[in-house]
Structure 1
Amino acid sequence: MASPSLMDTLFQRSLDDIIKGVRQQQSSTESIFISKVIEEIRREIKSTDLQTKSTALQKLTYLNSIHFIDMSWASFHAIECISSPTFSHKKIGYLAISQSFNESTSVILLISNQLRKDLKSSNEFEVSLALDCLSRIGTVDLCRDLTSEVFTLMSSSKVFVRKRGIGVVLRLFEKYPDAVRVSFKKLVENLEGSDSQIVSAVVGVFCELASKDPRSYLPLAPEFYRILLDSKNNWVLIKVLKIFAKLAPLEPRLAKRMVEPICDHMRKTGAKSLVFECIRTVVTSFTEYESAMKLAAAKIREFLMEDDPNLKYLGLHALSIMAPKHLWAVLENKDVVIHSLSDEDPNIKLESLRLVMAMASESNLVETCRVLVNYALKSDPEFCNEILGSILSTCCRNVYDVIIDFDWYVSLLGEMSRIPNCQKGEEIGNQLIDIGMRVKDVRPELVRVGRDLLIDPALLGNPFLHRLLSAAAWVCGEYVEFSRNPIELMEALLQPRTSLLPSSIRTVYMQSAFKVLIFCIRSYFLQKEEMTSEVSDLASKLECSESSDVATGKALVQSDRDEGFNPRESNQSYEDPSVLDTGVGQTSTPAFMKEKSFMHESIVNLLNLMELVLGPLSGSLDVEIQERAWNVLGFIELVRQEFSNPLIQKEANLEREKVIASRVVEWVHDAFSEELGPVSVTAQDRVLIPDELVLKENLTDLEAICGGVELPSPDSFSLTSPYYGEVDGFSISNLQGEEDSEPSTESTSLLTEHRKRHGLYYLPSEKNKILANDYPPANDPSSGINTNDDTEDLVKLADQSLVSKRKPNYAKPRPVVVKLEGGDAAPVVSKKPELEDDLLSGAIRDILLGNEAKAASSQSNPSDKSSSKRKGKAKHVILPGSKENQAVGEQPNHENPSSRQSQHRGHGKVKSKKSRGKKNGDGREGDGEKEREKISDHHGRHKSRQRADAPINVAAQTPDIPDYLL
């Protein structure tokens, strides 16, 4: 494209014109206007006139920062602008480079010479631009090449330049750790300066360095202590306090010396920022000093009494830091904490919520959770979920250590899921499953709560609760033996509205329904075997009676068997003592089996219901749904012969198929009967990694492989349109077996409505009434959440003591909670990785402590040397060209630029005892001469390294600067 004409240059639109033009555009025409401006910029930026080029680059930089327009294509033009002698052009170019360049920019190496030139400029503003750019985009190569220039600027007579040079040191140390050996002396010397701006910059650098590895900076504690006593700059004092907060836990003697000066600042200063930093330092690192903690608590009370919401928030935040070890400070201010839950500021509400949960204990957990749940009903959605999340995280802490009554907690989880704004379905579901696996005694209540969740239609339409419904379905299927009415669970799992759920949730419903079916069929088989045994015992007893009675009894029994008589279908139950109490030994039946009974016709209707619902799903487009449907249908076909017409069951082949079906049911039940338990968090770490397996730290390679592939959403699901027609021979009467011996109660209104609307899919009772149900209604207002409480409950809660001195007496003991030796994975617990020493920390320790640091690190655990080498983790970092590297006889790395530079450092000879010639085993002279030649070739590197390893006595002794940097 040709260069712009003179008219285009004269009438070039400025940045103000672009801003006004963007603001005047409508939302529909804004993109069109920006595209037109980009075309103009592409044409103008190629101009040979630097004024035109810089103006175009300025407009492009604005569009990139506001509208995220890509400007990587203009990298070279930005370099052209910084080479201009005009300061305005240079400023625009440096801004563009700082904003758009990164380590992968192809032309980043072209700015190295220009940065060096500007760093040596006499104009302090040009130097400032170069330093600011280096601090933002400095790479390993740039930091290595420009270390000498930055070192020179740290000694500049201009305070403005020296202050910025000190700030850039942090970037140099991060990218190029060898710069520590060059610049650390000047950095420590500036710490003793008298100018407050210089001291502030140096303290800021050390504050950032100490936050990563504070132990390396313990030798500088006397200098920081002097600044704490003498400095009048609040900003410097705040930074020094941050440093001491990191150093004090490492050295107890230092903490004892620091308490009094910090308390003096807390009493005398009027700056709220400095007072708060003193409070935070005391409550984090000086918790063992009671007088300091009481003073900090008094200052926190002053913050809480302020009208300024910012100061009130800081007071609450300081209390939250004190809460884990000094709960008494929170209890003294509990009235303010409770009232802060109703504050308008969301940050204040969050902090007060954390403090309320910190005060929760075994004695007041039930009342606290009740008030908070009621308060969540009246809160906005965001704070409502914060309340629910706080309750969940507090109750599951230390594997539910604070919970005594698990039945209450499981009911609370069910109530929380019905709050309209609840979005914690996944967390609640995880805890339902985890509690079911850990606490056996709570499983009956868990199944009851799961049943209530499954029949509640309001939950099906909330996508945030789908994972909760999946957990409820799994719990009901896994622990179905604790259900009072398994057939009702089957109806809830197969209700038509489950088509609203994603496919991943529907598969859990189908699998749970399969488990319920297996349980019902096996229970029927056990009851049948029990009846056969009872009849045999009755017949044997009758043989011992009078002959006429015996003959009559045998005739009756044989007649009943020939006619397919089923005692469970008669009006008298075999559990009636008047029939079975004959004095013979009773058969052993599980406790839960004595409460339930299944008729032959009930099992047949269950099979028909499963076929009716799962039949259309066998052609689903989702393969998981299709596979599970076919599995269940195949099982039903296999056991169908067992429940055929009893009058036809005399044939030999059918009798054989019945035996096979019974065995298959037993096998499948045994597969489901294995109890599942929690998994340790260290289980994966115990798996040995194969030697041939190469693990990468991340999966960035997949971006190039699957860059154009759009993965489906995890919530997506496919549905078919099944046709539910009439089924021949399907009777809608007499589908329910014998009801429970207890009096039947009315079912829930929701379930009744479903039965009226979809009567074909429900199993009615044989007496034409709703199934007997011993459960309370799912959404019964009398048993649900009390929504009439107002905010006065929060005030009442403040009047009560949130921490009792004695544990309450419960009617029943706390159930056993399964805990793992290797560690437990609570649903809402995360673990932070530990920080490891890096090259920077090792280099600073070598300089400050010299050979003492190396000796300490080597003598700390000499028996672990071999193991640390095998694991690839060394306790002491060996830098290129260090004494340890030479001691093990390693060759210098000629590929490393820093190693090449170290070969030219200093001059002189170094003698070594190891260079003396020795004889080998075969009598020949060793390699002593070659060793001496090798040492003489690299004597300069030895000399400079000896100077670098010399310890620093705070600031008096530092390594000499290498000749090539002077």
Structure 2
Amino acid sequence: MSKSATDVIKGLRKGKIDRTAFLTTVYSEIREEVKSPDLATKTNAIRKLFILALEGYDMEWASFHILEVMSSQKFSQKHSGLLAASQCFKPNSDILFLATNFFRRELVANNTIDTCIAINTLACIVNADMSKELLNDCVTLLNASKPILRKKVCVLFYKLFLQYPDGLVICFERLAEKLRDESPGVVMGTVNTIYELSRLNPAFVLFTAQALYEILNTTTNNFVLIKLIKLFVELAKVEPRLLKKLSGPFIRILTSNPAKSVEFEVIRAICAVFPESEDMLRIILQKLPGFLDSHDPNCKFYIVKYLGLVVLHKLIQINRDYAEEYRIFIMEALQSKDVTIRLRALELIKITTTNKSLIETIKNLLIEVEKPINAGIKEELISTCLYLLSLNQYELVEDFKWMFEVLLQIVNFKTSIHEAQLSSIMLDVVLRVEELREEACELSLNALEIFDTLKSEKCEALTALLFIIGEFSNYFSEGNLIKALSLVTKPRWELLNFHESVYNALSSCVFKIFIRAKEDGVFKACVKKLEENSVQIEHMESQERSLLYLNILTTSDKEKLNFVLKPFLPIHPSAQSLIFPPDALQQNFIVNDDELFTTKSDGTLEYHYYREEDFGDIQMTDQEKKAAKLKIKEKQMQDPYYIKPKKGKKKKGKKSKKLEGKVEEIKETAEVVKEEEIKKPEAPKKYSVNRAEPLIPS
């Protein structure tokens, strides 16, 4: 006995079977059953094939058999065939030429159920040719006595218009008349179709605004309200005069409708078309706690993802105090298990944090970073911390020592994406804030003691620490100076494979510590460390730097190296303009010219190492030509690889005579021009630079 569709489903649900072998067996049975002249057997095969199509099997080969089944007079067989057709037939399928007459017959049939399932299938497979052929039949169905038919055909018109846009001009007015239909379902389908069309061209459906406005004021269907609110947002983009009419209904719906979905759509619409209305925003403020305190996870998601970004951002632009009222809810959203909620909460934190709430906010962010969470979320949390700390040249930071401690704490987290930004902020804040340098040196020295946990991926942060310790080592006491030297001269530096920049910073740090050291033991330790760097480090540039510093230490007087100890000072904004370029510098001289290379047809570049027109400006006298020839001969005679010509005269053949003739022609046609006059250099142009920022942020 052949398997039924129920048997196939039960077989797939069994866990202790060979799934592939079972499906192969069923598929082979289907191929035999569809050839049966019995329509019931063929219908059973089509049902099983539909189930296998959900498993990835192809069913397009059975298109003609599906057409046979859907043409049956029995409803069960016809329904199975239409269901399979919606899955199998595509808008570019050839079988649709044969199916057009079937759908035309079904659209005018007296059986309402048959017409309904035909409309459902037609919406899935309709193409441009079918839309053109069946458009008049669908228009006729707009006057059907059954509301279910009018509703379904109103929705079908959207798919017809997508495939056949000229149909909009023909029958869109007939469709718009259904906005005043007695059946709420027909009105709902018409509103839905008009809304989808408004997203493509809102100006075309603008004439329906009056009928839509009447429905907005009278309907109690929440689905229709949501679609109308979205529709009027689209229409307001092309007709601003609608805004005066919409303010009243929007406020009424927001204050009287208890549905959260409708409230959400109204709030989003108000933020889109009434961003400057403070009265409406106050009403939104009254509704926000209802979303935030709700135990419905969907409402929680919506308020953070949408209202958090749209509504709260608008409110903060009007009044900064709104951020403080909802800070607790934002921090609760930061602890959510949903990734999207956390990301939206981070965006809110970036726009709501103030100098008073910075410390608490950073503390909460670092607590979340320490938890075992997704790596992507961890990077976003660290990125938010760095953004808040460096915002507008550290305008939110009041305690820079605390800020530097936070930066060192972030260094300990295993992250490499923000390594460059982190080290840049560390150096920048130490250079700008002079009062921080002594404390930063102590903190950097303590961090350097545990740098083994950082390993090689922290090379940029480690480079920043070495720079701070070396550059500002004058803030160290003699004991801390020796401690710093012992840290940078330990043999563990050679055991770890650091980046070249770390060893460069290490040599520079040792050199600067030596200059500030007073004991001979420190001097000997510095020299020994530089000698080790020049031998043990694999990087060539690091070896050269170590040798350079070593040579300076051993040959120069220590007192003459005090120029390194000069502190960093701010640069005057007009300092660059005081330096004039030399007179011989031609600022307008073109070094690289695009004429020196051209693009071939295949996209490759063809390089020209000279310009042909440049040689037209050369003029040589006879004496200069003879002197040039003599120089060429002298070079040839001195070249050991040059083959010297044999002595004795040779008879000139025809080829040599022709060659001499061509040479003479070239000499006769050579252009002679005057020598170029040497132009005097133009007046020097003043350089300008961007305004330098002060060391201490204002």
TM bin, normalised by shorter chain, reads: 0.5 to 0.7
What is the alpha-carbon root mean square deviation over aligned residues? 5.1
Q: In the TM superposition, what is the alpha-carbon distance from 1:94 to its structure 2 partner?
A: 2.6
Are 2:681 and 1:813 equivalent residues in the alignment? no
Q: Following the alignment from structure 1 to structure 2, what is the Cα–Cα distance between the partners of residues 643 and 453?
A: 22
Equivalence for 2:383: 392
Q: Following the alignment from structure 1 to structure 2, what is the Cα–Cα distance between the partners of residues 450 and 89?
A: 83
Q: In the TM superposition, what is the alpha-carbon distance from 1:320 to its structure 2 partner?
A: 4.3
Are 2:464 and 1:473 equivalent residues in the alignment? no
Q: Following the alignment from structure 2 to structure 1, what is the Cα–Cα distance between the partners of residues 466 and 57?
A: 59
Query: What is the identity, as a one-letter code, of the residue corresponding to 1:23?
Result: R
Q: Following the alignment from structure 2 to structure 1, what is the Cα–Cα distance between the partners of residues 31 and 302?
A: 50
Q: In the TM superposition, what is the alpha-carbon distance from 1:319 to its structure 2 partner?
A: 4.7
Query: What is the identity, as a one-letter code, of the residue corresponding to 1:42?
Result: R
Are 2:7 and 1:17 equivalent residues in the alignment? yes
Q: In the TM superposition, what is the alpha-carbon distance from 1:228 to its structure 2 partner?
A: 0.9
Q: In the TM superposition, what is the alpha-carbon distance from 1:98 to its structure 2 partner?
A: 2.4
Q: Following the alignment from structure 1 to structure 2, what is the Cα–Cα distance between the partners of residues 211 and 398?
A: 42
Q: In the TM superposition, what is the alpha-carbon distance from 1:389 to its structure 2 partner?
A: 2.0
Q: Following the alignment from structure 1 to structure 2, what is the Cα–Cα distance between the partners of residues 179 and 491?
A: 83
Equivalence for 2:166: 178
Q: Following the alignment from structure 2 to structure 1, what is the Cα–Cα distance between the partners of residues 15 and 170?
A: 55
Conserved 8 A contact 2:233-2:273 = yes
Conserved 8 A contact 1:453-1:459 = no
Instruction: Specify the SS of the correspondent of 1:232.
Output: coil
Q: Following the alignment from structure 2 to structure 1, what is the Cα–Cα distance between the partners of residues 120 and 312?
A: 42
Q: Deviations over 1:480-518 (max 9, x none)?
A: 75563899599888645x6xxxxxxxxxx6xx32x4556
Aligned counterparts, 1:158-557, within 5 A: 158-214=146-202, 216-248=204-236, 251-311=239-299, 313-314=301-302, 318-327=307-316, 328-338=321-331, 355-378=348-371, 381-382=373-374, 386=377, 389=380, 392-393=383-384, 396=387, 400-401=391-392, 403-404=394-395, 405=397, 412=406, 415-416=409-410, 418=412, 425=415, 427-429=417-419, 431-432=421-422, 441=431, 472-473=458-459, 484=470, 495=495, 512-513=499-500, 515-516=501-502
Conserved 8 A contact 1:362-1:403 = no
Are 2:532 and 1:605 equivalent residues in the alignment? yes
Q: In the TM superposition, what is the alpha-carbon distance from 1:286 to its structure 2 partner?
A: 2.2
> TM-score, normalized by length of structure 1?
0.47
Q: Following the alignment from structure 1 to structure 2, what is the Cα–Cα distance between the partners of residues 122 and 185?
A: 26
Instruction: Specify the SS of the correspondent of 2:275.
Output: coil
Q: In the TM superposition, what is the alpha-carbon distance from 1:224 to its structure 2 partner?
A: 2.0
Greater displacement, 201-210 / 332-341: 332-341
Distance change >3 Å, CA 474–CA 50, structure 1 → 2: farther
Distance change >3 Å, CA 483–CA 491, structure 1 → 2: farther
Q: In the TM superposition, what is the alpha-carbon distance from 1:204 to its structure 2 partner?
A: 1.0
Distance change >3 Å, CA 25–CA 608, structure 1 → 2: same
Q: Following the alignment from structure 2 to structure 1, what is the Cα–Cα distance between the partners of residues 339 and 411?
A: 23
Distance change >3 Å, CA 643–CA 273, structure 1 → 2: closer
Q: Following the alignment from structure 1 to structure 2, what is the Cα–Cα distance between the partners of residues 144 and 437?
A: 70
Q: In the TM superposition, what is the alpha-carbon distance from 1:374 to its structure 2 partner?
A: 1.6
Q: Following the alignment from structure 1 to structure 2, what is the Cα–Cα distance between the partners of residues 332 and 306?
A: 17
Distance change >3 Å, CA 32–CA 812, structure 1 → 2: same
Conserved 8 A contact 1:414-1:453 = no
Query: What is the identity, as a one-letter code, of the residue corresponding to 2:125?
Result: I
Distance change >3 Å, CA 363–CA 217, structure 1 → 2: farther
Q: Deviations over 1:136-181 (max 9, x none)?
A: 3334444444444434434434322222222122223334333322
Q: Following the alignment from structure 2 to structure 1, what is the Cα–Cα distance between the partners of residues 128 and 404?
A: 56
Conserved 8 A contact 1:450-1:475 = no
Q: In the TM superposition, what is the alpha-carbon distance from 1:127 to its structure 2 partner?
A: 3.0
Equivalence for 2:39: 50
Q: In the TM superposition, what is the alpha-carbon distance from 1:225 to its structure 2 partner?
A: 1.4
- List gaps (5 residues or longer) in structure 2: 471-483, 552-593, 604-693
Conserved 8 A contact 1:18-1:59 = yes
Instruction: Specify the SS of the correspondent of 2:353.
Output: coil
Aligned counterparts, 1:837-916, within 5 A: none
Aligned counterparts, 1:104-143, within 5 A: 107=95, 110-143=98-131
Distance change >3 Å, CA 521–CA 290, structure 1 → 2: closer
Query: What is the identity, as a one-letter code, of the residue corresponding to 1:163?
Result: K
Conserved 8 A contact 2:142-2:150 = yes
Conserved 8 A contact 1:411-1:449 = no
Q: Following the alignment from structure 1 to structure 2, what is the Cα–Cα distance between the partners of residues 264 and 492?
A: 73
Q: Deviations over 1:724-769 (max 9, x none)?
A: xxxxxxxxxxxxxxxxxxxxxxxxxxxxxxxxxxxxxxxxxxxxxx
Q: Following the alignment from structure 2 to structure 1, what is the Cα–Cα distance between the partners of residues 404 and 22?
A: 59
Greater displacement, 54-63 / 275-284: 275-284
Q: Following the alignment from structure 2 to structure 1, what is the Cα–Cα distance between the partners of residues 222 and 466?
A: 66
Q: Following the alignment from structure 2 to structure 1, what is the Cα–Cα distance between the partners of residues 493 and 104?
A: 73
Q: Following the alignment from structure 1 to structure 2, what is the Cα–Cα distance between the partners of residues 182 and 493?
A: 82
Q: In the TM superposition, what is the alpha-carbon distance from 1:201 to its structure 2 partner?
A: 0.9
Instruction: Specify the SS of the correspondent of 2:69.
Output: helix
Greater displacement, 165-174 / 330-339: 330-339
Equivalence for 2:614: none
Conserved 8 A contact 2:107-2:115 = yes
Q: In the TM superposition, what is the alpha-carbon distance from 1:71 to its structure 2 partner?
A: 3.6
Distance change >3 Å, CA 345–CA 427, structure 1 → 2: closer
Structure with the bigger percentage of helix: 2
Whose relative contact order is higher, 1 or 2, with alpha carbons under 8 Å and at least 6 apart? 1
Distance change >3 Å, CA 641–CA 191, structure 1 → 2: closer
Query: What is the identity, as a one-letter code, of the residue corresponding to 1:62?
Result: I
Q: In the TM superposition, what is the alpha-carbon distance from 1:323 to its structure 2 partner?
A: 0.9
Q: Following the alignment from structure 1 to structure 2, what is the Cα–Cα distance between the partners of residues 337 and 389?
A: 16
Q: Following the alignment from structure 2 to structure 1, what is the Cα–Cα distance between the partners of residues 122 and 448?
A: 60
Give the % identical residues: 25
Q: Following the alignment from structure 1 to structure 2, what is the Cα–Cα distance between the partners of residues 489 and 149?
A: 91
Q: Following the alignment from structure 2 to structure 1, what is the Cα–Cα distance between the partners of residues 534 and 508?
A: 13
Query: What is the identity, as a one-letter code, of the residue corresponding to 2:383?
Result: L
Q: Following the alignment from structure 1 to structure 2, what is the Cα–Cα distance between the partners of residues 312 and 415?
A: 32
Conserved 8 A contact 1:237-1:274 = yes
Greater displacement, 597-606 / 293-302: 597-606
Greater displacement, 295-304 / 353-362: 353-362
Q: Following the alignment from structure 2 to structure 1, what is the Cα–Cα distance between the partners of residues 546 and 337?
A: 65
Distance change >3 Å, CA 491–CA 176, structure 1 → 2: farther
Distance change >3 Å, CA 185–CA 375, structure 1 → 2: same
Q: Following the alignment from structure 2 to structure 1, what is the Cα–Cα distance between the partners of residues 516 and 420?
A: 40
Q: Following the alignment from structure 2 to structure 1, what is the Cα–Cα distance between the partners of residues 117 and 266?
A: 36
> TM-score, normalized by length of structure 2?
0.62
Conserved 8 A contact 1:357-1:390 = no
Conserved 8 A contact 1:94-1:133 = yes
Conserved 8 A contact 1:191-1:202 = yes
Q: In the TM superposition, what is the alpha-carbon distance from 1:438 to its structure 2 partner?
A: 9.1
Instruction: Specify the SS of the correspondent of 2:313.
Output: coil
Distance change >3 Å, CA 814–CA 194, structure 1 → 2: farther
Conserved 8 A contact 1:128-1:161 = yes
Instruction: Specify the SS of the correspondent of 2:67.
Output: helix
Corresponding residue pairs, total: 537
Distance change >3 Å, CA 117–CA 171, structure 1 → 2: same
Q: Following the alignment from structure 1 to structure 2, what is the Cα–Cα distance between the partners of residues 88 and 489?
A: 87
Conserved 8 A contact 2:86-2:124 = yes
